[in-house]
Amino acid sequence: MLNSGGSPVTVGSSLGVSESTVSLVTQVFVEAMWERAMHHCCWPGSAQVKKIKRKFDKIHGLPNCHGIVQTAHITFGSHSGDHEENDSMLMQAMVDPNMRFTDIWLWSSGSMNQLS
Count each helix (H run) and each strand (E run) in the chain, helices first.
3, 3
On whether the CB atoms of residues 74 and 89 are closer than 8 A, the answer is: yes
Residue 47 domain flag: yes
Q: How far apart are CA 113 and CA 11, in angstroms?
A: 30
Per DSSP, the three-state class of 46 is: helix
Residue-range definition of the domain harbouring residue 93: 8-108
Residue 76 domain flag: yes
Identify which has the larger pLDDT, 16 or 106. Answer: 16
Q: How far apart are CA 29 and CA 36, in angstroms?
A: 11
User: Which range, 6-10, 30-34, 95-99, 106-110, is most confident?
Assistant: 95-99
Identify which has the larger pLDDT, 100 or 7. Answer: 100
- As a whole number, mean pLDDT of residues 68-96 equals 75
Q: What is the pTM of this model?
A: 0.54
Number of domains, the chain = 1
